[in-house]
A and B are shown apart, each in its own frame.
Chain A
């Protein structure tokens, strides 16, 4: 196990609703990245948080937003849910810049979101 935890494990929502997913990073990691993995596809980068600031964003609309807290845990919020938002949402934490394992991302078990 990587030490990265995510909650909830599964979630069912209806179109138009809002959802919040949570992630606790591995001890000592100050960077958290979020990925969306649609069925049968590779994960796609949503955004990354470093020291509570957004530090890069993929090709996702503004209704995908996030937060990082002082303890480096993070939230992913999705507003106005659409059917295509149904996916596995993965959180990954990584070591601070300058460490030997920089760029190595450790993933949590994911949250499976179903939008009906």
Chain B
């Protein structure tokens, strides 16, 4: 069965600190996609990144970076020099690439990040 675990329920940091959000996944598929979404208090899920299982290159986008390691089934997300606007709940998600439920996302329980000024 597919599963996503985000062990950190809540994290609180002071502005400008770096913070890493952990994500561990389980799947028997050899082809799959991993995602990170941000959910601000307004409730809308904001897409941050998608990686496929064949691409283990780390990615950097501004202050955001992602570390994908198949050997440990992890897809961690780091925010550098955090800002108050980064405060939100962050979800890691997994989807299979093929099958009857193409695009079905399996979410972790989320990590609530609070960035204090």
Interface residues of A (CB under 8 A from B): 2, 31, 33, 35, 40-45, 48, 50, 55-58, 88, 90, 92, 94, 97, 102-110, 112
Q: Which residues of A contact B105 (CB under 8 A)?
A: 33, 35, 43, 45, 92, 105
B residues contacting the other copy or chain, number (CB 8 A): 27
Contact A33-B42, Cβ < 8 Å, known A43-B91, A104-B50: no
Interface residues of B (CB under 8 A from A): 4, 33, 35, 37, 42-47, 50, 91, 93, 95, 97, 99-110
Q: Give chain A's interface secondary structure class.
A: strand
Interchain CB contact (< 8 A) of A97 among B43, B44, B102: B102
User: 26 interchain pairs (CB within 8 A)?
Assistant: A31-B103, A40-B109, A41-B110, A42-B91, A42-B107, A43-B91, A45-B104, A45-B106, A48-B101, A50-B102, A55-B101, A57-B101, A88-B43, A90-B45, A92-B45, A92-B105, A94-B103, A103-B95, A103-B97, A103-B103, A104-B47, A104-B50, A105-B47, A107-B37, A107-B46, A108-B44
